[in-house]
Each structure stands twice: as C-alpha cells, then as structure tokens.
Structure 1
Amino acid sequence: MLRNACDIHTHTIYSRHAYSTIEENVRAAAELRLELLGCTEHFSSMLHPAVAAGDGRLACDTRDYQYFYNFGCWPRVWHGVRLLHGCEADIVDLKGNLYGHDIMIDEGITGDVESPATLKERVFSRCDYVIASVHGRDFAREANLSVTTNMYLSALQDPKVLVLGHPVRGRVPFEHREVVRAAKELHKLIEINAHSLDSVIGHKDTIDGCQALAEVCAEEGCKIVVSSDAHISCGIGGFEPALRMLERIHFPQALIATRDAESFLQAMREGVGTTIE
C-alpha cells in the first residue's frame, strides 16, 4: 500500500468556490493523521479580475489579496499538523507567464505607498511554494505541441514554482517526457491530482492521461505529489483514486514527495529553496 501523508493542494473559502475555513481543513487533516497540509488558494482572474489602468497597464485592488499578505499570523504547527502557505497560480499565456506578472502594485492594503512591484512578486514572496496550473485554456487552443510544451517548461523555470498542477486536466496537450525530464532536472514536482481521477470530473481521457503521465514520471525518475485538490474540509486527504492508479502501475514509493512531511520539506528546499524551521 502506497503511503501519502501530506496534502499540499487544498483550498479554503478565500477561493470563493470552496467552502471551508483554514482551521476546518487543518482539523480534517489532523483527524486523518496527516503530517502536513498546504493551503494553495487560487491566484487567478477567476477570483478578482484585473482592470485596465489609465496608463494602459493592468491594475487591481490590493485589498483583494490581503489574505496572502497576512500568512504570518498562521501557526506553523496547528492541531499537530505542519502547515504551509502557498497558492495555485494560473498559467495565463503561451510564454508560461503566471497570473499577476503584468499587474503593478505600488500601495499596501492600507493605501500606503510602496516601491512598485508586480502583484505576482508581492504574493509569491509570501508563499512557501507555488503550484502552476492551467484553468482557462482559450489562449492555447490554436497552439501546436512544441509551443504548449515550451509553455510548461517556462512555467517550471519560475523560482517559486515547485509543482506543475493537474497538467492533464488542463487539457493543453504537451510532450510528457520533455516536461518530466525538465522537472526532474530542476527538482520540480508533477502533480497527480486525485480530483482529476474521481467520479465527479474524471473522464476516461483524463484518467488515461494521468496514468500515462505517471508512467513517464516513474520511467524518468521524476518525483510527484499526490494531492486531493480539496475545496471542502471533508475532501482533505482524499487521495484514494490517485493511489489506486499508482499502485496499479507499481509506482515507486520513493518518488512520491508527499509520502511524509520531511520528504516534502526536502523537496521544497531542493526545488524552490524554502526552508521551514
């Protein structure tokens, strides 16, 4: 039986289409005796769309993002569970740019003037790690395989991106082996997303694609994470569809970075340089 003691892709009510608080999620993790929980809210236009500023740039209301700014008030261990701060950032174009890269911020949540920086820089600086995912895929509909593969390769180059999130469910085709090899070289991780395999949204092509991707990861020796992508506390730790698939293909336990807390913390140190005491 494969072991998976960390859930590093989860959401709270901040993500707007999720339903539980951070403490409800932590308590759910504690009840399951998970060792580590990562909270990765959506960082995306689906929550708070940017608007055109008068000078032609994009702008936003900084107050919409103060949730990320105040991560410091969270305990690092809560109800016996290690707690990490993250976000799930949308890949927004074929260059592999991530949401917020083109939105300039020059004030804090109280309106105080700050040195100019992008929204992405502001939010990422407060995250332990970032999951990069595709949700809206219209920008990639006419792109060929080489271009979409390079999109993912570019996203993996971001210093704060540790995990490529549900890449099969994003429905943007790419060369699996090329992306997996790059992820291994960069010490980044490929997500096997249990929600992509469940009976609610798991279509046959998605399930087959996830298995094919996992098989390439095993062949290339690239580490993965197994995550619930829970949007409600009762979904925390819901790894079963993913673990069943991985057991069916005899996936190596040693390549599952979420097998225990120390393994994921070590992967985080190697992949994005974040050290948690």
Structure 2
Amino acid sequence: MLHIACDVHTHTIFSRHAYSTIEENVRAAAEMRVELLGSTDHFSAMVHPAIDGEYDLRDFQHFLNVHSWPRIWNGVRLLHGVEADIVDVDGHLFGHDIVCGRDITGRALRRPINLKERVFDECDYVIASVHDRSWAEGASLAQTTECYVRALEDPKVLILGHTGRSGMPYDLGEVLTVAKERGKLIEINEATFGDHPSARQSCRRIAERCAEMGVMISTGTDAHISYGIGRFDHVRSMLEEIRFPQKLVATRDAQTFLDVLGHAIGRPDGL
C-alpha cells in the first residue's frame, strides 16, 4: 500500500466555510496516525472581502499569532501555512498590493505594512491556488502557464494547489519542469476526487506526468472539518492504480516532507 503520513492542506474555522478548530484537527490527525499536519487556512478575499475598498489587518490576525501553537501536539508535528489565492495572470498572490496602516488593536502603525509580506513572514510554507479564475478569461495558454511559473517562484510557495480542478488550462510540462528545478511540489488533492468528479481525469493525468518526469507531489485532504483529516482513500487508490513511485510522494512521512521543505524554503524552527 502507498504510504501517506502527512496531511499538508487543511482548514480551520478561520476559513469561515470550514467547521473545526486547530485543536480538533490535531486530535483527528493523532487518531488517524498522521505524523505531520499542515494547517493552511485561506488567505483570500473570499474569507475577508475589502470594506469600501480597504482591508483591515485585524481580519487576518489569525495568521499573526501562530507562534503560540506548539510544534508537536498530541504527537503530531504541526506546521503553519496558508492557502493563498493567485489573483492575476502575473502570478501575484493575494495581499501583494494591500497595505495596512493599523495594527490589530486599531492603532496607527509608524510604518504601513504589506499584508502579504506580513502574513507570509509567519508561514512555514504557502500553497498557491486558483479559486476565482475570472481574471484569466481571454488569457492565452502562455499567460496562464507563466502565471503558475511565477507563483512557484515566490520564495514561500512550496505547493501548487489543486491545479486539476482550477479549470484554467496551462502547459503542464513547462510548469512541472519549473517545479522540479525548484524542488517544489504539485498537489494531488483528495477533496477534488470527492467533490469535483469531473476533474478526476485531469488529476490523474497530472499525476502520470509527474511520475514520468520525476516531479514530487504532495497530498492534502483539503479537509474543511476534522473528520476528513488524514483520509486519502481516493488519492491513494488512484496513485496505486497508476503505480506512482513512492519515492516521489513528499508526504510519505514527516521527515521526507521536512527535508523537501528545508531544501526549497528552509526548515521551520523547532522541528
């Protein structure tokens, strides 16, 4: 059986359309014998839209206090991440153009801060995903491909999230080549198989090309409730069916994932 011992794409109640706390997710991970859990709430306008064209740092303070979480909790190694939306054909990530002038108490800052930089500073890694692809309407294949390439070039981005269901076409070979060169990961997403059956063949094709090209993948349940943590029935079945190499599964155990993370971005403190 293909071994998967890490769940590196999960959500808490901070994502608003998710239903469990971080502690509930950790306890579920321990019950499922998950060695490493990555908590990656949405960093996106769909969680906290702008009010009168402005964003408030107080709406994102969840990301600013993650150092209070233990690094090992109930025997589970815990990583701090975000799932950041790709917001344009240039591959920019949410928050890149947002400046906040007040701190979480509402007091004026001496120096305004960039929201993306402030949040990413607290993260061990970032998943870059497309949810609203309206900005890609009319874009060429070259443009959408370059969009993913530029997202991979962000120093904190480790994983391209659920590209098989984004509905945005791109040159798979070119994106996988860049991912391999930079030591970054392509996600095979469990929720896609369960919630988006029309995308299953696309996900299978991505996995097959990763195997052919020697590109490492990550697995994430994309769980929005603790019950889903660590449950990879669809992903494991598909990967076993195509005989995907175990050595290319970065989430096969905690040490492998931490090694990949360390080479691509830097090893988190305390782990």
Q: Smaller-chain TM-score range?
A: over 0.9
Residue 222 (1) aligns with residue 189 (2): no
Residue number in structure 2 paired with 1:144:
140
Deviations 1:145-200 (A, max 9, x none): 111000000100000000000011111011111100100101110000011112x3
Residue number in structure 2 paired with 1:258:
251
TM value normalised by structure 2: 0.97
Residue number in structure 1 paired with 2:84:
89
Residue number in structure 2 paired with 1:11:
11
Structure 1 residue 107 displacement after superposition: 2.4
Residue 237 (1) aligns with residue 233 (2): no
Residue number in structure 2 paired with 1:181:
177
* Count of matched residue positions in the alignment of Structure 1 and Structure 2: 269
Distance of 1:84 and 1:114 partners within structure 2: 31
Distance of 1:201 and 1:248 partners within structure 2: 19
Identity between Structure 1 and Structure 2 (%): 56
Distance of 2:110 and 2:126 partners within structure 1: 24
CA gap of 1:73–1:275, structure 2 versus 1, over 3 A, is closer
The 4+ residue runs of structure 1 with deviation greater than 3 A are none
Residue 172 (1) aligns with residue 168 (2): yes
Structure 1 residue 111 displacement after superposition: 2.8
Paired residues of 1:101 and 1:120 also in contact (CA < 8 A): yes
TM value normalised by structure 1: 0.95
Distance of 1:246 and 1:60 partners within structure 2: 41
Residue number in structure 2 paired with 1:72:
67
Give 5+ residue unaligned stretches, structure 1: 53-57
Paired residues of 2:218 and 2:250 also in contact (CA < 8 A): yes
Give 5+ residue unaligned stretches, structure 2: none
Structure 1 residue 51 displacement after superposition: 4.1
Distance of 1:83 and 1:67 partners within structure 2: 16
Deviations 1:189-216 (A, max 9, x none): 0000011112x3222xx11111111111
Paired residues of 2:259 and 2:267 also in contact (CA < 8 A): no
Structure 1 residue 69 displacement after superposition: 0.6
Distance of 1:148 and 1:123 partners within structure 2: 25
Residue number in structure 2 paired with 1:33:
33
Distance of 1:266 and 1:116 partners within structure 2: 35
Residue 103 (1) aligns with residue 94 (2): no
Residue number in structure 1 paired with 2:260:
267
1:193-232 alignment, distance < 5 Å: 193-198=189-194, 200-203=195-198, 206-232=199-225
Paired residues of 1:129 and 1:162 also in contact (CA < 8 A): yes
Deviations 1:28-85 (A, max 9, x none): 0000111000000000000111245xxxxx5311110110011011000111100000
CA gap of 1:114–1:166, structure 2 versus 1, over 3 A, is farther
- Give the aligned CA root-mean-square deviation in angstroms: 1.1
Task: Give 3-state SS (helix, strand or coil) of 2:49's partner.
Answer: coil
Structure 1 residue 238 displacement after superposition: 1.7
Distance of 1:104 and 1:28 partners within structure 2: 37
Paired residues of 1:7 and 1:258 also in contact (CA < 8 A): yes
Paired residues of 1:108 and 1:114 also in contact (CA < 8 A): no
Distance of 1:230 and 1:243 partners within structure 2: 16
Distance of 2:82 and 2:105 partners within structure 1: 23
Paired residues of 1:129 and 1:274 also in contact (CA < 8 A): no
Paired residues of 2:144 and 2:170 also in contact (CA < 8 A): yes
Residue number in structure 2 paired with 1:55:
none
Structure 1 residue 114 displacement after superposition: 4.3
